[in-house]
Chain A
């Protein structure tokens, strides 16, 4: 397999095409693996300690070989960059039609560097590529930007698909995301701020080419069997009906939500905890990518009869909220009306901002208010306008969102990089340590679910290469207590047992490798929960990958490829100074016991250190420093990475 990499230097306006050879796929699989390699190479000639908002940063978009191939496994594009909010490795996935439409132009990877002197957008129409004036788009949200570009560029040779930033990205808010076709946000790590700093408002693509498949008959056979496997599972139909919102009742039952800044783990309010929203809000189904056999997406359109608050949003239509949109609004902020939860999802998507970081930033201050730790004078100084900081008050929450998106007051500026930096800055300003109320891991916002009863989950948050994150280590063997998977991976049930530390760090290490493969294939993560293809991607997706690319790696080699990809992300973070002491989680997760749900009394501290030790041991890294060893890197054919780390003083000694 070969691919085309489009390199765009916004400072000079130079645009050039580069071939990504088969040998690169042999080593980095595709998708996020190749993105990581492109960024690693970039920072061998640019200062890795640069300000992420400077022209020296790079923004890479890539899409893996399975995406849009007809495999039916969903489509995810990947953006990769140095994170402006966390100052470390940053990446984020997004679905929809943009990622595979770009393949139809002939380009599968884009690397953007420099800074344009004025706002521009990048237009790719098959092999014709140009930078165009975007002054008429600047100041627009992602919905309007997408609509204007679709109208402006038309439907020939294909409909126009876009990747764009909203006002949050334009204002270089650290937690700004990048939005695909105005519907699906690459939310994590601040890619929107990187594009904003480069004056790049959008990428618009139109293509009518095809995708080369090495062995089409092999892919078609695999795809047919994959579809039949999904068809046999009634749970897939349940997932089509509810999407990730099916988790609401499960989490309510076991106590796994994130309520009021993590003070509780169950939602409050009958409406928000019931299944009634399915009938009232699920108006029609939507296929996210046209290359997915599951099709879990849906849209709502509010007519004002659904709930009390729905009268405020008559006519509003958008994607049905995913679980984490709900977890951030109904959980972190205690919003109890579904119409408001749905509106929160649309609002943050239109502005192009991560609702996990946003909700944890807002809920931090709401908890201070609840505890009388913030005075009326403090509120006046922070906001410059009235602000109740009242849980669930959607009008005031919208004002808080505006403050951050438009950087319009001290609060907005302080919390633009998420809750960790925000709480540090606030504590410094006030001369008092409020960090015990900040919800984070490794400097990133906690994602809005309960952690404490789940040792693998806690470990995921502490070690994820992009700051606290559940989508790198995906501790579902443990959360769903999958004894069957524990048996397959480790020869016993221990990894599924919540009460012991055994195999929890090992689970993180192995699943990180598998997730790296999924992200490099370019498929959707939801298959992890529904089909063996998801939780054993080296085995079940392997044949599809080989048929498409001609990279003849067996399961063992693919797992090694996943491990190599993870090690490059780790090496990036080691170069910017991250060590074992950065692999940590916030005080509440660590020390404050749960007092509700099915696992009361849980604290992370009980198992945190042994699980972290085990993680490093399974990784083959130095337990004391958390750094990589030359032996492990050479085993993964990454000797040149070890050389770079050694030169930077970021390789384990001995």
Chain B
């Protein structure tokens, strides 16, 4: 089991109502983290986080990075103590 912190920004913060969480994961994977997030926050989080066509993390308009600034994908593994930031992936204007 590992412990992972999450940080929520913009629309993620609006849905969760929190700046962040701590999750304990039996499987050290992004997939497990995504499951716990959608279990905890329900349909809106699921619609934001998961692409229903591919069952991958939704890539359109969203961004998820680890503490080194690397984007994470659903097949990635996570290390104990890692922090994942959930961000809106928008630019320009």
Contact = CB atoms under 8 A, between A and B. Distances in A.
Number of chain B interface residues as a range = 20 to 34
Nearest to A599: B69
Contacts of A247: 88, 90-93
Q: Point out which of A496, A525, A529, A599 has the most chain B C-beta atoms below 10 A from its C-beta.
A: A529
B47 A233 contact: yes
A476 interface: yes
Nearest to B9: A249
Nearest to B52: A232
B93 A244 contact: yes
B25 interface: no
Q: Point out which of A245, A481, A483, A531 has the most chain B C-beta atoms below 10 A from its C-beta.
A: A481
Interface string B25-43: 0000000000000000000
Contacts of B44: 234
A324 B11 contact: no
A148 interface: no
Interface in A316-336: 322-325
B79 interface: no
B11 A233 contact: no
A233 B60 CA distance: 8
Contacts, number: 126
Contacts of A531: 60
A224 to B, nearest CB: 17
B52 A246 contact: no
Contacts of A484: 56, 59, 73
A471 B92 CA distance: 8
A476 to B, nearest CB: 6
Given A233-B60, A238-B14, A480-B71, A529 B89 contact: yes
Contact of B9 (A241, A250, A496, A525): A250
Contact of B71 (A232, A241, A481): A481
B62 interface: yes
Summarize A's interface: helix, strand, loop or mixed.
helix
A254 interface: yes
A499 to B, nearest CB: 10
B61 interface: yes
Contact of A529 (B15, B87, B90): B90
Given A254-B69, A483-B71, A241 B89 contact: no
A434 interface: no
B85 A244 contact: no
A529 to B, nearest CB: 6
Nearest to B88: A246
A232 B13 CA distance: 19
A138 interface: no
A480 B61 CA distance: 9
B61 A239 contact: yes
A470 B90 CA distance: 13
Contacts of A481: 63, 65, 70-71
Contact of B65 (A233, A244, A476, A598): A598
A311 B91 CA distance: 30
Contacts of A480: 59, 63, 71, 89
B10 A246 contact: yes
Interface in A520-570: 525-526, 529-532
Contacts of A323: 90-93
Contacts of B13: 275
A406 interface: no
27 contacts: A232-B52, A234-B48, A234-B58, A235-B11, A235-B48, A235-B62, A236-B61, A238-B88, A244-B92, A249-B9, A250-B9, A250-B63, A250-B87, A253-B9, A253-B85, A253-B87, A254-B87, A275-B9, A275-B13, A480-B63, A480-B71, A480-B89, A484-B56, A525-B92, A529-B90, A531-B60, A532-B60
A-B pairs with the 4 shortest C-beta distances? A244-B93, A238-B11, A235-B61, A322-B93
Given A232-B47, A531-B60, 19 more contacts: A233-B47, A234-B15, A234-B44, A234-B48, A235-B11, A238-B14, A239-B61, A244-B93, A246-B10, A246-B88, A247-B88, A247-B91, A250-B63, A253-B7, A322-B92, A322-B93, A471-B92, A482-B71, A532-B60
